[in-house]
């Protein structure tokens, strides 16, 4: 029975990847402005966090890290100008796995880079274009590309963090929970170095698609390729909680007050505690789900992130 389940998962994922080769569509429903319009109704005092001009960072835009079927995928680099070799932080935007853009992460990438890091915002394929696990493969390929070009970016390839917000947080947690798991590596990739990360920052992203706290439905189904009732093994396979083990990286959870966005978090922490892996939880009270995009919550969010990164990469 277990072998049959594995065969089913492999066949299903292959069919999703074939679909991704022939379909490309763009969903622009989720933007910073749309999140602002939704949130300002309850929080009339909020302000959108804008990009800044930092004197100690340089920016490199639209770097091609992967090409598949004529489709080019890009990343943007925000690099601290220090000559020292730096830890790297890979940032993933949210948008329900169907919408969003790497530009949403620019202010946060700039701010983190200004604190002594090399940051990379990554474009990955979304559900209208490609089903799971294509987006996961994309991000892992981006990590491999960044490591391959460690000298150019002046990074330490053994000190890489993955950060994601909302659906991007779910992906970040899954990527960090599948270190050294070859089933989550793109067999067709030209990059052969490890895609492992050494730290995870999950900003209001779920850890389990099917869980008493979770309310995932249509958006998750579009990304995963079907409803839970039709493909329960895929929903389980795509959940970071399923793969949490001694190989999972230290993790910082930054959560809003809404329980559904950290479904599975406490279960994951219990497993990590059993392996003596560091975890940290910070809650942004009285905020919208998309708090990282807005003042007055942005500065606290940034402070939590930088202190965690410093603890993992600079104090050890």
Q: What is the pLDDT of residues 222-256, one digit of tens each?
A: 999 999 999 999 999 999 999 999 999 999 999 99
Give the pLDDT band (50/70/90) at residue 314.
Answer: confident
Q: Does the pLDDT at position 10 exceed 70?
A: no
pTM to 2 decimal places: 0.92
Rounded Cα–Cα distance for residues 168 and 93 (Å): 5
Mean per-residue pLDDT, 20-38: 83
Mean per-residue pLDDT, 120-133: 98
pLDDT score, position 25: 75
Q: Are 104 and 93 in contact (CB under 8 A)?
A: yes
Q: Are 138 and 17 in contact (CB under 8 A)?
A: no
Q: Are 77 and 60 in contact (CB under 8 A)?
A: yes
The least confident of 172-176, 219-223, 296-300 is 219-223
DSSP secondary structure string for all residues of the chain: -HHHHHHHHHHHHHHHHHHHHH---------HHHHHHHHTTT-TT-EEPPP---TTEEEEEEEEEEEETTEEEEEEEEEE--SS-EEEEEEE--STTTS--GGGGHHHHHHHHTTT-EEEEE----TTT--TTHHHHHHHHHHHHHHHTHHHHTEEEEEEEEEEETHHHHHHHHHHHTTT-GGGS-TT-S--S----SEEEEES--S-SSSTT----HHHHHHHTS-TTT-HHHHHHT-HHHH-STTPPPEEEEE-S-GGGGTTHHHHHHHHHHTT--EEEEE--S--TTGGGEETTHHHHHHHHHHHHIIIII--
Q: Are 278 and 312 in contact (CB under 8 A)?
A: yes
pLDDT score, position 218: 86
Task: Give ∠ CA 92-139-113 in degrees, rounded to 5.
Answer: 50
Cα distance between the two ends of the chain? 44
Pairing of strands 118-122, 155-165: unpaired
pLDDT score, position 292: 99
Q: What is the pLDDT of residues 134-183, one digit of tens each?
A: 999 999 999 999 999 999 999 999 999 999 999 999 999 999 999 999 99
Q: Does the pLDDT at position 217 exceed 60?
A: yes
Rounded Cα–Cα distance for residues 140 and 178 (Å): 10
Q: What is the pLDDT of residues 176-205, one digit of tens each?
A: 999 999 999 988 888 988 999 999 999 999
pLDDT over 70 percentage in the chain: 92
CA atoms within a 13 Å half-sphere pointing along the CA-CB vector of 162? 30
Mean per-residue pLDDT, 43-48: 98
pLDDT score, position 23: 52
pLDDT score, position 24: 63
- Identify the residue whose tokens are 């200004």: 114
Q: Does the pLDDT at position 18 exceed 90?
A: no
pLDDT score, position 27: 94
Q: Are 73 and 64 in contact (CB under 8 A)?
A: yes
Given strand 71-80, what is the order of strands in its sheet?
57-68, 71-80, 118-122, 86-92, 155-165, 199-203, 251-255, 279-283
Is 1 or 176 the better-scoring residue by pLDDT?
176
pLDDT score, position 167: 98
Mean per-residue pLDDT, 3-17: 52
Taking all residues of the chain, what is their mean pLDDT, rounded to a whole number?
Answer: 93
Q: Does the pLDDT at position 6 exceed 90?
A: no
Rounded Cα–Cα distance for residues 155 and 88 (Å): 6
pLDDT score, position 187: 86
Mean per-residue pLDDT, 285-307: 98
Mean per-residue pLDDT, 258-277: 96
Q: Does the pLDDT at position 129 exceed 70?
A: yes
pLDDT score, position 171: 99
Task: Give ∠ CA 169-139-261 in degrees, rounded to 5.
Answer: 10
Q: Which domains does the chain have, with CATH numbers?
A: 2-314 (3.40.50.1820)
């Amino acid at each position: 029975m277990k072998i049959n389940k594995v065969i089913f998962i492999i066949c299903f994922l292959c069919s999703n990847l074939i679909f991704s080769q022939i379909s490309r569509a763009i969903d622009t429903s989720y933007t910073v402005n749309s999140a602002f319009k939704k949130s300002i109704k309850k929080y009339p005092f909020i302000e959108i966090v804008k990009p800044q001009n930092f004197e100690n960072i340089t920016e490199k835009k639209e770097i091609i890290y992967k090409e598949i079927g004529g489709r080019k995928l890009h990343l943007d680099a925000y690099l601290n100008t220090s000559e020292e070799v730096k830890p790297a932080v890979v940032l993933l935007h949210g948008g329900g796995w169907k919408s969003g853009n790497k530009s949403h992460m620019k202010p946060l990438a700039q701010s983190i880079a200004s604190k002594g890091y090399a940051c990379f915002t990554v474009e990955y394929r979304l559900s209208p274009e490609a089903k799971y696990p294509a987006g996961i493969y994309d991000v892992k390929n981006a990590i491999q590309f960044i490591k391959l070009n460690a000298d150019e970016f002046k990074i330490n390839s053994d000190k890489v963090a993955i950060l994601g917000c909302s659906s991007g947080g779910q992906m970040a947690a899954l990527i960090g929970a599948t270190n050294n798991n070859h089933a989550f590596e793109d067999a067709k990739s030209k990059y052969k170095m490890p895609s492992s990360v050494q730290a995870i920052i999950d900003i209001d992203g779920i850890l389990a698609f099917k869980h008493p706290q979770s309310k995932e439905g249509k958006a998750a189904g579009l990304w995963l390729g079907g409803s839970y009732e039709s493909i329960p093994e895929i929903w389980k396979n795509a959940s970071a909680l399923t793969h949490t083990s001694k190989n999972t990286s230290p993790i910082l959870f930054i959560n809003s007050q809404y329980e559904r966005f950290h479904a599975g978090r406490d279960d994951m922490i219990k497993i990590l505690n059993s392996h003596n892996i560091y975890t940290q939880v910070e809650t942004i009270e009285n905020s919208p789900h998309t708090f990282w995009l807005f003042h007055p919550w942005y500065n606290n969010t940034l402070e939590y992130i930088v202190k965690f990164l410093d603890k993992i990469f600079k104090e050890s």
